[in-house]
Structure 1
Amino acid sequence: MPRRFLQRYMPKPDTLKRQRSLRFMAPLIADPRLWQLTRRNVANAFSVGLFCAMLPIPFQMVVAALGARFCRCNLALAAGLVWITNPLTMPLVFYGNYRLGTFFLGTPLREAPSRISTSWIAEQMHDIMPALVLGSLVSALVLAVTANVAVRLIWRWHVSHHWKRRRHKRRRRRARIEAEFDD
């Protein structure tokens, strides 16, 4: 992953420390290890952020921030990746997690009424929760491990590709200089 690309879109720690709403988190934000962009930090941040995004819990960003602190990975990426499950995508993701959970538990799917209401969800929550939690945990683990491996491989490929390009440019430049001396 290109470090410069990520740095361009990441918030600066000093800017976040100056915001009144985040002052209570100043000790957490002040740790410079949570803002480094290394292959390991970014890969672990993807794992933490995507794991927390798949969990059917409130305050996913807080959990991701605490997970970033615990795993010593990039705080901004971990908290930002939680927004993959935003209010538009959350119903689809959690329905998929529920279906995955029913598959593993071997339970039948609950039929949804023609109009889903919060009262219907509250009544069915006792039956839905085990499958939703299991499916969410399975998808969170699979997504976290896959993302970690993928980021590490992409980062490694990008670095090796960059080094090969630099080596090729150096060879061309050296050949051009040698050709000038030969003339």
Structure 2
Amino acid sequence: MAKKFFQSWLPSSHKIAEMKLMKIFGQRTLNPLLWYINRKSISKAIFIGTFWGMLPLPFHSILIVLTVLLFEVNLPISLCLAWLTNPLTLVPILYVGFWLGAKIFQVNMIDQDMIMGVLHQISHVITHFGEGHIDLSLAKILLSGLMLEALIFALIFFILTRLIWRWNIILHYRRRRLTKSEY
């Protein structure tokens, strides 16, 4: 069953509480609700971890922990999903974010000239000690696309978790019924 699967590989609450990151939050990380394994807790934890994990932010693990402490869902599952944004997945995540942002604002997808223009603006601001400006329209497009992408993927993973969990329980009861009918 899904519950046994998660219990088999999740670390203990004391092991996580001893981590340097968790010592910031004190004894709140030992709350039993943060370690409870059921369909609702795991699916909400997957939603939170996926949402913050898809956003390429610095220190998104802290944001995950804060949100988990607020909603009291499974902490280790959410923290595992912080690794969704890594060097291998960053480029596709950013590309889809730009694509969604371009669709939201109904603009053409960025091209090489746009990127070179923004890089020139950034280098001008850096070399002239803050004089000049940077066009933030690309940042607005990227940020809105990334937020929408994170929300979409978080919802998909949330629904998939609920469906797979339910399907697993149905299979478990069918197997149990079949073994009872054999005797």
TM-score scaled by length of structure 2: 0.83
In 1, the alpha carbon distance for the partners of 2:21 and 2:104 equals 42
The equivalent residue for 2:107 is 107
In 2, the alpha carbon distance for the partners of 1:125 and 1:89 equals 26
Say whether 1:156 aligns with 2:166: yes
Alignment deviations for residues 2-22 of structure 1 (CA, whole Å, 9 cap, x no partner): 112112221211112334563
Contact 2:56 2:85 in 1 (8 A): no
Cα pair distance change 1:21/1:41, threshold 3 Å: closer
Counterpart mapping for 1:1-183 below 5 A: 2-19=2-19, 22-112=22-112, 122=122, 126-173=136-183
Cα pair distance change 1:70/1:32, threshold 3 Å: same
Which range moves more in the overlay, 132-141 or 160-169? 132-141
Pair member with larger Rg: 1
Alignment deviations for residues 64-105 of structure 1 (CA, whole Å, 9 cap, x no partner): 111111222111111111211112211221121111111111
Contact 1:34 1:68 in 2 (8 A): yes
Cα pair distance change 1:95/1:125, threshold 3 Å: farther
Alignment deviations for residues 103-162 of structure 1 (CA, whole Å, 9 cap, x no partner): 11112222237x98x956956772321111111111111112221111111111101110
In 2, the alpha carbon distance for the partners of 1:157 and 1:104 equals 35
TM-score scaled by length of structure 1: 0.83
Contact 2:65 2:79 in 1 (8 A): yes
Identity %: 26
One-letter amino acid matched to 1:140: A
Residue aligned with 1:131, SS: helix
Which range moves more in the overlay, 23-32 or 45-54? 23-32
Cα pair distance change 1:89/1:120, threshold 3 Å: farther
In 1, the alpha carbon distance for the partners of 2:101 and 2:51 equals 16
Over aligned residues, Cα RMSD in angstroms? Answer: 2.4
Which range moves more in the overlay, 103-112 or 124-133? 124-133
Contact 2:101 2:141 in 1 (8 A): yes
Residue aligned with 1:48, SS: helix
Show structure 2 runs of 5+ residues with no match: 124-133
**1:29 Cα deviation (Å)?**
1.3
In 1, the alpha carbon distance for the partners of 2:141 and 2:27 equals 38
Residue aligned with 1:65, SS: helix
